Structure 1
Amino acid sequence: ALLSLDMITLFVATLCGLGCSLTAVDNLGHIGESLGYPQHTIGTFVSLVSVWNYFGRVFVGFISEIIYNKWKVPRPVIMMLSLIVSGVGDLLIAFPAPGSVYVASLLIGFSFGVQLTLLFIIIFELFRLKYYSTLFNCGQLASPLGSYIFNVQVVGRLYDVEATRQLAARGLTRSAAKELTCIGRRCYRTSFSILAGVNALGTLV
């Protein structure tokens, strides 16, 4: 069951979705700082993610049940839609407009809660209880693994590249002990465009 096509497909989709969502959540503070928001507003972004993450977890269970019973829409399709929602949130950060980070926080928080809950429901529906504990824990690995790939290797590296470019433009060099700070809309444009593409890939999987 662990190496079945269904489980591998679910793992890859979850890696894309949860990895990108966690990356966005982890970087909200730096995103707000780079766009010039005050600290209390950045705190609002974090609160929005938390609240809508809760709503996503609570409502997706019975809403997906209603949708399935009424229109026969399977839960993997709802998972696909949540990835699309997360991708829209990433694009709102990549190409920010006034107030867009508020909307992005809401969308990413909600889709994160939906994906996390649906992961375990879909595992149960596909494999039942025989291998549930093993698959449950393996499914959870997609979240930290995706976060490491996209947060550290993609967003973190591209942020440092842009921050270093800004320093060079001012004729400065980076001190080894000093943390890099990037200011402006370009800081997360490339990285979150990539995350939106990864979410799109997850929907195709």
Structure 2
Amino acid sequence: MGILFLATLCGLGSSLTAVDNLGQIGESLGYPTKTISTFVSLVSIWNYFGRVFAGFVSEALLARWKVPRPLMLTLVLLLACVGHLLIAFPIPGSVYIASVIIGFSFGAQLPLLFAIISELFGLKYYSTLFNCGQLASPLGSYILNVKVTGMLYDKQAIKELAKKGLTREDVKELTCLGSRCYRLSFIILAGVTFFGALVSYILVLRTREFYKGDIYEKFREQAENADKEKGLVLSKPAAQKEVE
């Protein structure tokens, strides 16, 4: 669970940071307001497709070829790295592609996370582990958004002011324009996401034997035991009636 939490903190934290800053990224690169709205819409749409794709495809791969679900998570995190690098080193139209990639990978990580938790640890403590998994998202976002991306953006904006002969006290809000505003931030986000992919791959190696077997066997046994207990409870009144 610690491995999964760390991978999720890196992956979801980076993706959520990118989504939160998407509007300001568009402004820094000189995109008009209408285009920035398109970026946000693309993230929302592909977030949905990512959720559907991850749930359907990972289940199909697992059922047909016994592909471990953590491997799907690793591939999704590697895909997210591409989206971050497209923002770090923008070319004309790259933010459109980055919006699609980041939205898709962000949406795909959530169903994979919760499916992996249920498969590896069962349902007895699922609600507790579910909330632990959920905690990784805001925690990663706080660290990477507030403590990394926000601070680096402000630092670059102050540099831009210094070039104009101004100081922080001369402006109400810090605004940075240019491709360098988010370059270092998104290089770091890409590196953090890649680290999360490596951590996720450790989980792949540790669970590959588990996923080669029948992962749903324990759930069927639990269901059968529950049915037997239910049958015993229902049969008691009949037995008591015969005695009477």
TM-score interval w.r.t. the shorter chain?
Answer: over 0.9
After the TM superposition, which segments of 4 or more aligned residues of structure 1 sit over 6 Å from their partners?
none
1:161 corresponds to 2:170: no
The normalised TM-score by structure 2 is 0.80
Quote the Cα distance in structure 2 between the aligned partners of 1:176 and 1:147: 30
Corresponding residue of 1:179? 173
Q: Structure 1 regions of 5+ residues with no counterpart?
A: 1-6
Corresponding residue of 1:50? 44
1:40 corresponds to 2:34: yes
In structure 1, which of residues 97, 101, 104 is the aligned counterpart of residue 95 of structure 2? 101
Corresponding residue of 1:68? 62
- Listed as ranges, the matches of 1:1-205 within 5 Å are 7-175=1-169, 178-205=172-199
Quote the Cα distance in structure 2 between the aligned partners of 1:117 and 1:135: 14
Quote the Cα distance in structure 1 between the aligned partners of 2:177 and 2:89: 14
Quote the Cα distance in structure 2 between the aligned partners of 1:175 and 1:49: 36
Higher gyration radius (CA): 2
Q: CA deviation at 1:176?
A: 7.8
The normalised TM-score by structure 1 is 0.95
Q: Which amino acid aligns with 1:28?
A: L
Quote the Cα distance in structure 1 between the aligned partners of 2:19 and 2:183: 16
Q: SS of 1:185's equivalent?
A: coil
Q: CA deviation at 1:185?
A: 0.4
Q: Which amino acid aligns with 2:58?
A: S
Quote the Cα distance in structure 1 between the aligned partners of 2:154 and 2:170: 13
Cα RMSD for the two superposed structures? 1.0
Q: CA deviation at 1:62?
A: 1.6
Quote the Cα distance in structure 1 between the aligned partners of 2:91 and 2:67: 34
Q: CA deviation at 1:70?
A: 2.1
Q: Which amino acid aligns with 1:153?
A: K
What is the aligned residue count?
199
